[in-house]
Structure formats: C-alpha cells, structure tokens
Amino acid sequence: MTRKSGRWLPVRIDDLEKWQAGLLEQSASRLGAGLSPGGRIHRWGFVGSPVMFRGQRAWLRVSPFLEHEMSRKAWRGTAEAAAIPGVSKPALLHRIEWHADGSAPIPVSAEVLTLVTDPLASRERFLRTAPDLPADWFGDLSASLAALRAYPTDRRFPVHDAEEYGYLLSATYRRPVPSGCVPAFGTEHIDLNWENITAPRFQIIDMEHWCVAVSGYGAASLYLAALEVPAVAARVRAALADVLDTPTGRYAQLVAAALILRNLTRLPDPGGLAARLHDYTDTLLA
C-alpha cells in the first residue's frame, strides 16, 4: 500500500487503521493488558490506547518498524530514555518487541507507559493560542531540559553535528555567524514542540528523538515555536535564559530557526511564523 505522499509499507495494507488495530490487539494480548473501549489514537507511525496493566491504568503505544520510514534509534528512543533521571515524562512500565506475520515480517514495538491525563499544550507544533501554564510548569520545563543535558549519550541523528550545522546556516542565512555564537554540544531533545508537551502539568510525552546536538537546541526550538504568542514566548525565554542567552544558546537558536524555516516551506503558516523568525534571527546575526 502506498500513502498519498508516495511512501510504501513493505507489505500490502488495504486498511491501515484496521491493520494497526490488529497490531494493538495482538500486543495487548502478548502483554496481558486489557484495552479500554475509548481514547484510541491512530497516527502514521503508531497506534495507542489506554489499557489496564498489572492493576493500573496505563498507555499502550504500538509502533511497527518501517525500515524506509523510520530510524531504529528513534524507534527505541523511549526505551533508552527510561534511564534518564529528572526529566518529566511518562515512565516506561514494560516493553516487548515481536514480529507481525506476513510475506515480509515487520518488527513491532509495544510499550506500556504511565498514563498522561493532562492535555497537550497545543494541537499543532507551533503555538497559536496560550495554554494554561502555571509558574511551576516553567520550573519543570527548565529542570527537565537541564537533567537531559546532564545525561551522557552517543545517540546521533542526521543534521545534528558541527559540519552539517555549518552547511545549514550558510544555506539559510547567506552570511557569517557572528563570533559571539559558538556551539557546544550535549544531550538534547531534537523534537521538542508544543504538541509534544502537556499543560497545566509539564511532561514530554514522546522521547523518541534525543541525541547529541548543539546545547540549548530543545530550549531554542520551544521558544521559537511560541513566537506567535508573544506573552508565552517571553515567559519561556525568561525560564530558559540561562541557556538561551549564552554563545551556544544563540547558535542553537539560529540552528533551530533554520530547521523550522525549512519545515515551513511545506507546512501552513497562517500566523506568519516564518516572517517572525526572519526578523528575530536578523537580530542574532547583527
């Protein structure tokens, strides 16, 4: 089966949602988890549902590994993040891998996580309306990103190295990066966005994409993705100023802005985020 985008699954699937539901049911059976009747979520890369697992309400996330669509590092990112202390995120209760039957058996990951009851901060990656963000939300955000930065890793994803950053910044801005923007590297969440966190209690709900990156990248991404709501952006900046207002933090903002601008070439931009980013990065490049 091919999607409208032209990407393929390695087996013929006439009804993706039905196929995902079958994987979910098989995973629940293998884990001894009871599926709840409502709350199921289908996405291209996974299906999730509330479950009862070992006497408690939990969340079951089932992800088939699609070799030409996914990174194996991301596919196992949640499991590998389970050991990181101090990050507000769902706890991994149990995980199995199994293979779905078919002409080309597909690896399947089934992860049981503690159930998150707070809603997403946004239904989009980029913030367009202000969520309920109490003061302790910003404290938990700052503490979580600091704990992640302190956790050593050798996980790497494309683009996030000094050479690739150089190409990206040159192609995006067409002028030199100021000498006051100097990168340092550490552990960062490279997909931190407003539909990947909750409010009014802060949690990062998806820990697939964490790796070595320019220090401050996660903070920069979240701040820049809030620019359409200036009051929230200002509070994020104040909470993360110890990271953003440093040489590596300024470099991270240029990198994050460049990647957001690249994504906005194929995404709707009703609030003019691209123009805001260009205006803001002009001040960093001055």
- The tens digit of pLDDT for each residue in 125-137 reads 999 999 999 999 9
- CA 229 to mean position of chain CA atoms: 20
Q: Which of 11-20, 68-77, 177-186 shows the lowest per-residue confidence on average (mean pLDDT)?
A: 11-20
pLDDT band for position 254 (cuts 50, 70, 90)? very high
**Cβ distance 223 to 253 under 8 Å?**
yes
Residue 200: per-residue pLDDT: 98
**Quick one: average pLDDT of 76-81?**
97
Q: What is the CA radius of gyration of the chain?
A: 20
Report the first-to-last Cα separation within the chain, whole angstroms. 50
Average pLDDT value over all residues in the chain: 94
**Cβ distance 131 to 192 under 8 Å?**
no
pLDDT band for position 11 (cuts 50, 70, 90)? low
Residue 4: per-residue pLDDT: 38
In the chain, % of residues over pLDDT 90: 89
- The tens digit of pLDDT for each residue in 184-223 reads 999 999 999 999 999 999 999 999 999 999 999 999 999 9
For residue 106, the tally of other CB atoms under 10 A from its CB is: 18
Residue among 192, 201, 193 at smallest CA distance from 126:
193
pTM of this structure: 0.92
**Cβ distance 207 to 81 under 8 Å?**
yes
Q: Which residue has the higher pLDDT, 15 or 205?
A: 205
Residue 5 has pLDDT above 50, yes or no: no
- The tens digit of pLDDT for each residue in 19-73 reads 999 999 999 999 999 999 999 999 988 999 999 999 999 999 999 998 777 889 9
